[in-house]
């Protein structure tokens, strides 16, 4: 341990001294802090500071903001140091899977790989190398934090104590929230309609086998808008990221091979293997979807209209109708819509899907809507009835109506207290050194007094 501290001190003093000389040559980067074997660079702080400025709303002087950023970096490096001491490991597969997910997200947002490289002014290899480091460090930090707070819980007395500690004039406002349920009718698709789509896809497959380019036909005919503009290419996908039928076909292909027509919940596909790397595969595909006929859609509308009238006439309750008539899997929980942000059934007004918002704004609590069009999760046309099961008006948070929300706030406070206690303890034992440039920072923890 002493040898590690001596080595870290030697690195810190040497780099700081050489940087003073380098600054005369306009080199601006340097080591500003060391935590164990982990270092904080001036460029790390400046990059985050520029991001804050671009986001706007910065409060405080430039120096105080940089001090806050440095202390946040010290927290992270301390946890990375602890991850090493605890021998916490993150596998390459875990990192690569998350990295590919982020790359796909960035590419989809910006439109192409070339635009992504231009945006970051880096090659794809440089972007991936940097992301791997960021992701690995974050996963290690997440695991350390998970261990710190795993025993933390909020009892009812903790919740009451936290709520009562809030000054009366500072109790936060809670916006209007809704609980909404649905009853879904999915129009049936006939065998003839499916066979017609399969025949079209087999026709495209035969054209490819005779020499036409898969990517060209994907661009022209595929009904997957995300991949069609890229010649059908999906980018590297890991096991478990694709629907089972698609994944099985993709991993069974040889380089350049064209699959048979396969069916998934999204429609019918043909695939071409571009490259496989272990448990990751990159394929092109052409998707053709089976369209719901206008007659079937009208039939679904009529059925729902009849069900809505039964509910309005008290011949059946909405809950009973969901169990008896709904075609959606959520019928097992009463048809309640689930908020993807937190997994609850409560929606703030701003969290509602626009189409749902337009409908429920015209409804009273307990009133059932007329049949409204919707898209299922696999992008099929359908109809549904909506009902507001519960609605709150904007109000100051209180324990009667908002217990779950206040419990979340309490848990956040208790977890932060546990992390702060851990940092206070560990920072006194780990080797921490901070450059004199930051000696005047008003840190929350006494980092710069550690010897």
| pLDDT band of 44, cuts 50, 70, 90 | confident
**E-strand stretches of 280-391:** 280-288, 347-348, 372-375, 381-391
Cα separation, 169 vs 341, whole angstroms: 29
pLDDT at 25 over 70: no
Of 5-14, 67-76, 230-239, 248-257, minimum mean pLDDT range = 5-14
Asked whether the beta carbons of 431 and 34 are under 8 A apart, the reply is yes
Closest CA to 86 of 94, 75, 78: 78
**Tell me, what's the pLDDT at 4?**
39
| pLDDT band of 51, cuts 50, 70, 90 | confident
The pLDDT of 327-336, averaged and rounded, is 89
Phi first, then psi, for residue 371 (nearest 5°) are -60, 130
Query: Which is more confident, 251 or 346?
Result: 251
Asked whether the beta carbons of 76 and 139 are under 8 A apart, the reply is no
Cα 370–374–378 angle (5° rounding)?
Answer: 150
pLDDT at 1 over 60: no
Asked whether the beta carbons of 220 and 229 are under 8 A apart, the reply is no
**Tell me, what's the pLDDT at 57?**
57
Q: Tell me the β-bridge partners of 283.
A: 273
Asked whether the beta carbons of 110 and 117 are under 8 A apart, the reply is no
| pLDDT band of 16, cuts 50, 70, 90 | low
Of 8-17, 56-65, 117-126, 307-316, minimum mean pLDDT range = 8-17
Cα separation, 42 vs 49, whole angstroms: 11
- Which strand (E) or helix (H) includes residue 276? strand 267-277
pTM of whole model > 0.85?
Answer: no
DSSP 344: S
| pLDDT band of 73, cuts 50, 70, 90 | very high
Query: How many CB atoms are located within 10 Å of the residue 70 CB?
Result: 24
- In 3-state terms the chain splits into helix, strand, coil percentages (rounded to 5) of 55, 15, 30
**Mean pLDDT of all residues belonging to the chain:** 86
**Structure tokens, 384:** 């549904």
pLDDT at 87 over 60: yes
Helix-helix angle 124-149:62-85, to 10 degrees = 70
| pLDDT band of 11, cuts 50, 70, 90 | very low
**Tell me, what's the pLDDT at 332?**
84
Closest CA to 384 of 446, 286, 300: 300
The whole-angstrom distance between residue 179's C-alpha and the CA centroid of its chain comes to: 23
Query: Which is more confident, 35 or 238?
Result: 35
**Structure tokens, 39:** 């270092």
pLDDT at 164 over 90: yes
Dihedral Cα 346, 349, 350, 354, nearest 10 deg: 100
| pLDDT band of 19, cuts 50, 70, 90 | very low
299, with CB counted inside 10 A (0-12, 13-18, 19+), is middle
**Tell me, what's the pLDDT at 12?**
46
| pLDDT band of 26, cuts 50, 70, 90 | very low
Cα separation, 284 vs 273, whole angstroms: 7
Closest CA to 380 of 234, 182, 189: 189
Cα separation, 66 vs 31, whole angstroms: 14
Closest CA to 132 of 104, 98, 108: 98
**Structure tokens, 154:** 């909020």
Could you read off the pLDDT of 370-399 as tens digits, one per residue? 999 998 877 788 999 999 999 888 899 999
Of 3-12, 132-141, 174-183, minimum mean pLDDT range = 3-12
What percent of the chain is modeled with pLDDT above 90?
Answer: 47
The pLDDT of 273-277, averaged and rounded, is 90
Helical ranges in 56-91 per DSSP H: 62-85
Of 4-13, 120-129, 351-360, 384-393, minimum mean pLDDT range = 4-13
Could you read off the pLDDT of 203-262 as tens digits, one per residue? 999 999 999 999 999 999 999 888 898 899 988 887 777 889 999 999 999 999 999 999
For the chain, which domains are there? 177-189+293-396 (3.10.50.40), 191-288 (3.10.50.40)
pLDDT at 148 over 50: yes
What percent of the chain is modeled with pLDDT above 70?
Answer: 91
Could you read off the pLDDT of 171-211 as tens digits, one per residue? 999 888 899 999 999 998 888 889 999 999 999 999 999 99
Helical ranges in 241-352 per DSSP H: 244-252, 294-312, 318-325
């Amino acid at each position: 341990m002493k040898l590690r501290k001596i080595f870290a001190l030697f690195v810190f003093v040497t780099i700081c001294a050489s940087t003073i000389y380098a600054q005369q040559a306009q080199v601006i980067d340097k080591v500003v802090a060391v935590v164990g074997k982990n270092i904080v660079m001036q460029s790390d702080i400046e990059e985050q500071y520029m991001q804050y400025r671009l986001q706007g709303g910065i409060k405080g002087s430039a120096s105080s903001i940089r001090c806050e950023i440095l202390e946040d970096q010290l927290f992270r490096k301390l946890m990375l140091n602890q991850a090493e001491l605890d021998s916490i490991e993150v596998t390459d597969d875990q990192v690569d899977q998350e990295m590919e997910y982020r790359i796909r997200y960035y590419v989809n947002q910006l439109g192409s790989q070339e635009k992504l490289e231009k945006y970051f002014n880096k090659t794809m290899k440089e972007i991936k190398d940097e992301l791997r480091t960021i992701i690995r460090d974050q996963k290690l930090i997440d695991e350390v934090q998970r261990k710190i707070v795993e025993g933390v819980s909020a009892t009812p007395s903790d919740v009451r104590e936290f709520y009562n500690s809030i000054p009366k004039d500072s109790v936060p406002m809670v916006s209007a929230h809704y609980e909404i349920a649905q009853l879904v009718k999915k129009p049936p698709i006939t065998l003839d309609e499916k066979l017609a789509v399969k025949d079209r896809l087999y026709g495209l497959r035969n054209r490819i086998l005779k020499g036409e380019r898969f990517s060209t036909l994907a661009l022209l005919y595929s009904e997957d808008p995300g991949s069609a503009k890229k010649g059908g290419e999906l980018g590297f996908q890991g096991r478990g990221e694709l629907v089972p039928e698609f994944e099985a076909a993709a991993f069974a292909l040889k380089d350049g091979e064209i699959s048979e027509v396969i069916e998934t919940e999204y429609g019918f596909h043909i695939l071409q293997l571009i490259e496989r790397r272990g448990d990751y595969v990159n394929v092109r595909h052409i998707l053709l979807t089976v369209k719901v006929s206008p007659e079937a859609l009208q039939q679904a509308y009529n059925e729902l209209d009849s069900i809505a009238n039964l509910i309005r006439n008290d011949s059946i309750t909405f809950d009973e109708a969901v169990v008896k008539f709904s075609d959606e899997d959520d019928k097992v929980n009463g048809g309640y819509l689930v908020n993807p942000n937190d997994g609850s059934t409560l929606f703030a007004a701003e969290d509602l899907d626009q189409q749902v918002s337009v409908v429920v704004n015209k409804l009273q609590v307990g009133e059932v809507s007329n049949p409204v069009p919707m898209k299922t999760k696999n992008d099929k046309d359908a109809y549904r009835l909506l009902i507001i099961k519960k609605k709150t008006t904007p109000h100051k948070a209180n324990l009667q109506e908002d217990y779950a929300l206040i419990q979340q706030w309490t848990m956040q406070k208790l977890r932060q207290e546990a992390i702060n206690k851990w940092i206070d303890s560990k920072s006194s034992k780990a080797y921490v050194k901070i450059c004199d440039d930051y000696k005047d920072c008003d840190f929350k923890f006494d980092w710069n007094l550690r010897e």
